[in-house]
């Protein structure tokens, strides 16, 4: 038997619990992973919150989408994006439905090698925020010497987007609370406090103008300021403000209604991310780690929207 986190009902973190699940063997094209760390993401909470419906047929609901661990069994033709997968390989799995678990079976196509330079916690928290950041920067067409405004720059996706944008040679302006400004400066961004007067502060910081903007928080302020400052709305994207963004005529990205899921872009980004992280050009910042049985604690933390970095679960 193994353990996995499930939502037994729709609601808040109080509906989460750990159950025993039967051990399984991988089939053709599948891999079994002994999970060492699984990333926690805001989308995981939305899955059982009722935001996407409350069909009782989906309960109990397994949670999670990314994990890192050791391969313990492989099926026939277990070939991943980087080549054949073997027992004993240290790996990252994404997409990995049900990743909040001690053991996981996933398609081999979801498995890439774990960089030796990353801890298990860092590896388990790399992919969801990383591929989202890559998707955003591709969608807004970020180029060298662009000035880009990133709203929510100190969040999980924001920290990735800042680093990737700086690596592309862009000038990065990142909104965050003052307590997180030193982190953004350390990553090469220019921090700007959010709140009333944001547009004026951005203009003062970048009098030459802003070429593109990424909303990673979903607030009206983020959308309004982006539209006010960026002339070309095709170079503005949101991963959270789907209704407001649709009205503003900007790009909607991710899993929301009417959004571009970016399936191919995100899949291609996995090896790019592992290479950059393994070479030390991309840092995965871990805010907290919890055992599986404290999944509810982890979700209460991530629901605040104030976590500087990733939260992970460790079986």
* C-alpha span between 172 and 145 (Å, rounded): 10
Q: Is the pLDDT of residue 306 over 80?
A: no
Averaged pLDDT, 53-61: 94
DSSP secondary-structure letter at 279? Answer: T
Best CA proximity match to 157, nearest among 274, 313, 43: 43
Q: Which CATH number fits domain 129-252: 3.40.50.300, 1.10.580.10, 3.40.50.720, 3.20.20.140?
A: 3.40.50.720
Separation CA 306–CA 5 (nearest Å): 24
The string of pLDDT tens digits covering residues 162-177 is 999 999 999 999 999 9
Q: pLDDT confidence of 23, banded at 50, 70, 90?
A: confident
User: pLDDT, tens digit, for every residue of 95-144?
Assistant: 999 999 999 999 999 999 999 999 999 999 999 999 999 999 999 999 99
Position 255 scores a pLDDT of 87
Which class is domain 2-126+285-314? alpha beta
Which regions of the chain carry the CATH code 3.90.180.10? 2-126+285-314
The whole-number average pLDDT for the span 298-309 is 88
d(CA 82, CA 106): 15
Range(s) for CATH 3.40.50.720 in the chain?
129-252
């Amino acid at each position: 038997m193994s353990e996995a986190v499930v939502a037994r009902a729709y609601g808040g973190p109080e509906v989460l619990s750990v159950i025993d699940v039967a051990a399984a063997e991988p089939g053709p094209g599948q891999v079994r992973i002994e999970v060492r760390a699984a990333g926690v993401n805001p989308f995981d909470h939305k899955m059982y919150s009722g935001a996407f419906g409350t069909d009782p047929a989906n309960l109990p609901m397994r949670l999670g989408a990314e994990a890192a661990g050791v391969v313990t069994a492989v099926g026939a033709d277990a070939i991943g994006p980087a080549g054949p997968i073997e027992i004993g390989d240290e790996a990252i799995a994404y997409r990995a439905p049900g990743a909040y678990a001690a053991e996981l079976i996933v398609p081999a196509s979801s498995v890439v090698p774990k960089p030796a330079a990353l801890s298990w916690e860092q590896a388990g928290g790399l992919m969801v925020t990383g591929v989202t950041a890559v998707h955003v920067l591709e969608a807004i067409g970020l180029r060298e010497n662009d000035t880009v405004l990133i709203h929510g720059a100190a969040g999980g996706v924001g920290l990735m987007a800042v680093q990737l944008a700086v690596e592309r040679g862009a000038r990065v302006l990142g909104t965050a609370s003052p307590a997180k400004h030193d982190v953004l400066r350390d990553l090469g961004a220019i921090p700007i406090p959010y709140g009333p007067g944001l547009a004026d502060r951005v203009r003062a910081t970048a009098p030459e103008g802003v070429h593109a903007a990424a909303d990673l928080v979903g607030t009206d302020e983020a959308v309004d300021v982006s539209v006010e400052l960026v002339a070309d709305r095709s170079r503005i994207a949101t991963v959270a403000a789907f209704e407001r963004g649709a009205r503003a005529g900007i790009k909607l990205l991710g899993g929301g209604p009417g959004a571009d899921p970016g399936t191919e872009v995100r899949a291609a980004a996995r090896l790019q991310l592992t290479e950059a992280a393994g070479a030390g050009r991309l840092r995965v910042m871990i805010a907290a780690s919890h055992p599986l049985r404290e999944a509810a604690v982890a979700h209460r933390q991530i629901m605040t929207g104030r976590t500087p970095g990733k939260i992970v679960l460790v079986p």
